[in-house]
Structures are given as structure tokens and as C-alpha cells.
Amino acid sequence: KAGVTQTPRYLIKTRGQQVTLSCSPISGHRSVSWYQQTPGQGLQFLFEYFSETQRNKGNFPGRFSGRQFSNSRSEMNVSTLELGDSALYLCASSFDSGGALKETQYFGPGTRLLVL
Amino acid sequence: AQKVTQAQTEISVVEKEDVTLDCVYETRDTTYYLFWYKQPPSGELVFLIRRNSFDEQNEISGRYSWNFQKSTSSFNFTITASQVVDSAVYFCALRPPAGKLTFGKGITLSVRP
């Protein structure tokens, strides 16, 4: 099976712009989560989607949003970019058979965003 | 609130040495899962192991072994006979019933030839 794929892998934007990142989960996986990784804050949870509905949300401002499509693919959007948004954005998928707690999340290679 | 503490930030060993990575967690939940992930320089987080809160059996997989002790809220990871390819950042993570995965700050392991 192909793993989690994320596009683009690298992105350079300027302050004030917006950006959309894409994630394709492992085939058959229905849950997609997004994380932000920075040297200072480490890995922080952004949000989780299951069956096109946001199931969990982390403590990020409303500039960060996401959605999930019927084929489980997910996108996250960051509007009005700030310098502090420079980070590695990781997407993870899990099968989620209904027992959400136990499902292991498998991660993609990430999108490295640089805001200038 | 959940918290995962990886007190060690960087560890450097010589190849073939054994190394233990510590993980201490805090949660009020009685049901939860613990994970270890490895992040090589490429950036992708690689899943290593999952353990639920009701299973305190230690586990060995090749050169890797895990010691889960609920009494001390610890889930330590040992690499036996380390190799250069083990060089990476290792994360311990906790997932409570609410489903959000909480990570520790990670431990950078450098294995020198």
C-alpha cells in the first residue's frame, strides 16, 4: 500500500498570503489529522477529520482551517500568513474502525513551509 | 490535561552501545495508548510501537525493547547494539480517549561509527 502523501513538499510564501496544503491518506483510512512541527513548540495538534467532519481541534487561531473530502483526502488552509507559521506540517491517517482510541496514526513526509 | 516528558534532549553513543530513551507521561484517563515514533532527517514520522494502558507486558522487537511501567507512568525505549542508522529524533506520544495525540519534545539520538 502506498503511504500517506503530502503536496507540495516545500513551499515559500510571504507574510499576508494564504496557503493550501494537501494530504492523501493511506487507502482505506478514514481519519486524517494535521500537526505543526516547529523547533520551539515541537509537534502540536491542529485538527482531525473523520468522514468529512472535524472531530477534534487544537489550540490554533481561526486562520488555520481544514476540510476533508468524500474520498478522505484532506486539505488545510492558512490565511494571512505570519512569520511564525514557518514550520513542517505533518499529516497523519488512521483506519479508525470505530474504536478511535486505539488506531495508530501513520504520518506523511510533511510540507515544509517557509514564510518570508 | 495530558503531558509527555522526554527529559533527555540529546544522546550521543558509539555504535554497538546500548541506549535507553526515557518517557514519562501524565494523564487522568484510565484508558489511553502510548506510542513511540522515529523521525529520521527526511522528516517523516515512522511508527515504532503502540501500547495500551492495560497491557504492561514488556515488548522486544529485534534490537528494540520497550518497558512500560504504569506505577511510575513511564514508557522507556531501549535500543540494543545501536547502529548509525538509528540516528534520528525519537518521540514518545500519548493518546487519551478524546483522540488527540500529545507528543513529547523528542530526543535526538546520534550514533557515531
Task: List pLDDT tens digits, range B59-109.
Answer: 888 999 999 999 999 999 999 999 999 999 999 999 986 678 899 999 999
Query: A with B: how many residue pairs have Cβ under 8 Å apart?
Result: 53
The percentage of chain A sitting over the pLDDT mark of 70, rounded to a whole number, equals 94
Cβ neighbors of B12 (< 8 A, separation 6 or more) are: B109, B110, B111, B112
Task: Check CB contact under 8 Å for B99 and A100.
Answer: yes
Instruction: Say how far apart CA B70 and CA B27 lie, in whole Å.
Output: 11
Identify the pLDDT of residue B60: 81
Per-residue pLDDT, averaged over A48-70, amounts to: 94
What's the pLDDT band for A103 if we cut at 50, 70, 90? confident
The answer, for A48 touching chain B at a CB cutoff of 8 Å, is yes
Q: How far is A31 from chain B (nearest CA, A)?
A: 11
Nearest CA to A52 out of A74, A78, A19 is that of A74
Instruction: Say how far apart CA A19 and CA A95 lie, in whole Å.
Output: 27
Residues 18-47 of A with CB under 8 A from B: 33, 35, 42-43, 45
Task: Check CB contact under 8 Å for A108 and B33.
Answer: no
Cβ neighbors of B44 (< 8 A, separation 6 or more) are: A107, A108, A109, A110
State pLDDT tens for residues A14-43: 999 999 999 999 999 999 999 999 998 999
Task: Check CB contact under 8 Å for A56 and B32.
Answer: no
Question: For residue B75, how many other CB atoms are within 10 A of its CB?
Answer: 24
Residues of A in contact with B49 (CB under 8 A): none
Is the confidence at residue A78, as pLDDT, over 60?
yes
Residues 41-60 of B with CB under 8 A from A: 42-47, 50, 52
Per-residue pLDDT, averaged over A2-14, amounts to: 95
| Average pLDDT, rounded, for chain A | 92
Q: Which residue has the higher pLDDT, B37 or A103?
A: B37
The answer, for A114 touching chain B at a CB cutoff of 8 Å, is no
